[in-house]
Structure 1
Amino acid sequence: MIQTEERAKTIQEPTVHDVAKAFLRLESMTPKKLQKLCYYAYSFYLAIYEKKLFDDNFEAWVHGPVNPQLYTEYREYGWQEIPQEINYPNSIMKNERVREIIEEVYESYGHLDGSQLEYLTRQEDPWKNARNRLQPYESSRNVIDDEDIRSYYVGLLRNC
């Protein structure tokens, strides 16, 4: 029991930037694709483990869910691809659950481009609920509710 507690203390919790770098380790991609893959990783982790993957939220922007910190970090790339990363962040390497989620999300959604992922996320209830009657072109900084995310993705997993 003590070893388990000590091990848990030594595992660093990932940040949104760590998760992004883990996806970028798999391929170079546009900021839009990266945002959506991070959103799916966050969503499925929340549904499966009932806790947040990282301590940030996603907002219901016009082009789908966006994490503002990731947007700020990668906005200079615009529609161009962000270069591939060489190394996995330590917080990902040492956390099997997180690695598995990233691998599963990439296996399921990695073949899609940013626009296809945008289309998918905009069809889903958590994004729609956060937009709350806004027109498709209206900007929003509304946070997508974690309970909406959790319940929606629990339902998706049950139907698999």
Structure 2
Amino acid sequence: MYTAKDLANWFLAHESMTPKKLQKMLYYAYAWTLTLTNEKEDDLSNKLFPEKFEAWVHGPVVPEIYQEYKGYGYTNIPKCESESEIDIDNKDIKSILDQVMLVYGKFDGNDLESITHQEEPWKEAREGYGPLDSCSEIISDETMYKTYIKRIA
């Protein structure tokens, strides 16, 4: 298992991006790893990293990653030097990360925020909260799995 910071470094070794986009890239990497490496929703032991996503106003957020990069605001975090890139030694995980870059990497942070706002995991965690209400509800791994497995079944 990796850490969210490991994966943030992996994404930032590939391109410069805003903190918002980085959060959403981490979210989709986590969600698709959860979906593609587990057999059923009641045994989700394969996870990309241990940190959890909270359903914030602007979409899924790992608070530790937010704290790390919040100083960049709406500007791009510089691309990391390749030496800081984590070596992804699991070929299945590497393939998922490459696919996430290919599919979601073409969008900016605002586009990805809009996409996550239309999906069940974020909406379910935000239930009962207004659009601008602060929220630290955890986005359910089970709901992520159930949502994304439908796209490949």
Per the normalisation by structure 2, the TM-score is 0.91
CA distance in 2, matches of 1:123, 1:66: 16
Q: 2:144 — aligned with what?
A: 149
Q: Deviations over 1:63-96 (max 9, x none)?
A: 0000001101111111110010122213x2x222
Q: Select the residue among 112, 115, 121 that pairs with 1:120.
A: 115
Q: 2:32 — aligned with what?
A: 44
Which of the pair is proportionally richer in helix? 1
Q: Deviations over 1:12-31 (max 9, x none)?
A: x2111111111111110000
3-state DSSP class of the match of 1:60?
Answer: strand
Q: 1:9 — aligned with what?
A: none
- Which range moved further: 55-64 or 78-87? 78-87
Would you say 1:74 and 2:72 are equivalent positions? no
Q: Deviations over 1:45-71 (max 9, x none)?
A: 000112211011100000000000110
CA distance in 1, matches of 2:20, 2:14: 16
Would you say 1:53 and 2:48 are equivalent positions? yes
Cα shift at 1:41: 0.3
Structure 2 residues without counterparts, runs of 5 or longer: 39-45
Q: 1:14 — aligned with what?
A: 2
Instruction: Answer with 1 or 2: which has the greater Rg.
Output: 1
3-state DSSP class of the match of 2:122?
Answer: helix
Would you say 1:110 and 2:105 are equivalent positions? yes
Q: 1:129 — aligned with what?
A: 124
Cα shift at 1:157: 2.2
Cα shift at 1:133: 2.2
4+ residue segments displaced more than 6 Å: none
CA distance in 1, matches of 2:144, 2:151: 11
Cα shift at 1:115: 0.2
* Number of equivalenced pairs: 144
CA distance in 1, matches of 2:94, 2:69: 22
3-state DSSP class of the match of 2:152?
Answer: helix
Cα shift at 1:38: 0.4
Q: 2:41 — aligned with what?
A: none
Q: Select the residue among 86, 91, 94 that pairs with 1:89.
A: 86
Identity in percent: 44
